[in-house]
Amino acid sequence: MQNLKNSQQSGLIQHTVMLFSSIQKTFIFLSCTIMLGLLSQSSIAAHDKVYEITILHTNDFHARFRPISKYDNNCSEKNNAKGKCFGGTARLISAIEDARSSHSNTILLDGGDQFQGTLFYTMYKGKVAAEMMNKLEYDGMAVGNHEFDDGPETLRAFMDSVNFPVLMANANVDMEPELKGKLQKSTTLLKNNRKIGLIGVVTEDVVDISSPGDNVIFTDAVAAVQAEVDFLTEAGVNIIILLSHSSYGIDKMIAANTTGVDVIVGGHDNTYLSNVSDRAKGPYPTVVNGTQIVQAYAYGKFLGELSVLFDEAGNVIYATGEPITIDGSVNENSQIVARLDELEEPINALKETIVGTVASPLTGDRAVCRIQECDMGDMM
């Protein structure tokens, strides 16, 4: 009885410590936010002209137009109705609309890898991604490695269909007719009468993990970024955002070895950054060499939301934010749901197509196939 009592007390103490730790983290985050607000007020007083913009961002969406489960798999209609699902374009557009209504000046960016991942891509390639991204009114996107999975031709078709720039600075595409003169290294947008420079980079090992062909020559990301920063700066642009499909670690390396990049919107390694979650791999934003680095995990489960205040010279006065969880509390846009239903009809028909028969039941049990040869394939 005494041992049971001690165990219960130990469990209570452990629970109390964990609860205190969680409350402490939340308190620290809120305190920092309040302090940043106070600092920003004093900073605003010190600057005649300040500029604030809220960066909304996604990355590694991978054709997850429909909601996903907490395990990032397909989520059933039953569980979706119960509010147990995450993401999906119908919820994402609602979250973006809410964020835009809450902030007077926003920009919507993507860190790459819209392609590949579901039967929507298998059936339509980049057409659905283009349609949905246009509906969400994206302002810019980096090329991800999966954008090359079906060659430069499919990437070009996607670029011809979207209403925003698709960027990749660390490659020479002059020998690739599908991309020459079309795929930009950087661009400039005008947001509330202020020029915003956007640069794109992709992981340098694309040739090993995708199909860019022989005519696209990838180059060093750091040198490519600095060259575009210098080009934009000479053109009078002093707010520069890098869209980087390179990974959290590489983003920190780029920030440490370049000057003039204010914000990096990342992707590629599905990193979750947060100021309040124990599951985060780092703070949101992560600051390296004065550069604010953000990423929003993957699959549309989160919408990144970073508010940045700049002075007249383009220096960051403060930056604050937190990824928004796109869960069951976010309403689904009925028009998007209806459009996806329409697009899914031929996919559902394809699922019913008989492609072959087997003479006996197939064993696909994970416990068997993970340790020995089975009916589903040979161990290699």
Q: List pLDDT tens digits, range 279-319.
A: 999 999 999 999 999 999 999 999 999 999 999 999 999 99
- On whether both 61 and 153 belong to a single domain, the answer is yes
- DSSP class of residue 316 equals E
CATH of the domain at 282: 3.60.21.10
Confidence of residue 371 (pLDDT cuts 50, 70, 90): confident
Burial 131-163, CB ≥16 within 10 A → b, else e: bbbeebebbbbbbbbbbbbbebebbbebbeebe
Report pTM.
0.85
Residue 378 lies in a domain: no
Q: How far apart are CA 252 and CA 291, in angstroms?
A: 9
Q: How far apart are CA 70 and CA 307, in angstroms?
A: 27
Could you tell me the residue range of the domain that residue 343 belongs to? 335-369
Tell me what percent of the residues of the chain surpass a pLDDT of 90. Answer: 79
pLDDT at 153 over 50: yes
pLDDT at 342 over 50: yes
pLDDT at 379 over 70: no
- On whether both 127 and 271 belong to a single domain, the answer is yes
> 328 CB contacts (<8 Å, ≥6 apart)?
80, 82, 83, 84, 85, 86
Q: What is the structure's pLDDT at 32? A: 46
- On whether both 358 and 313 belong to a single domain, the answer is no
Q: What is the structure's pLDDT at 156? A: 98
Q: What is the largest CA-CA distance in the chain?
A: 79
Pairing assessment for the beta strands 166-167 and 140-142 based on DSSP bridges: parallel
- On whether both 53 and 199 belong to a single domain, the answer is yes
Instruction: Average the pLDDT over 178-189 and give the result.
Output: 98
Q: How far apart are CA 35 and CA 37, in angstroms?
A: 5
Confidence of residue 364 (pLDDT cuts 50, 70, 90): confident
- On whether both 217 and 354 belong to a single domain, the answer is no
Q: What is the structure's pLDDT at 378? A: 66
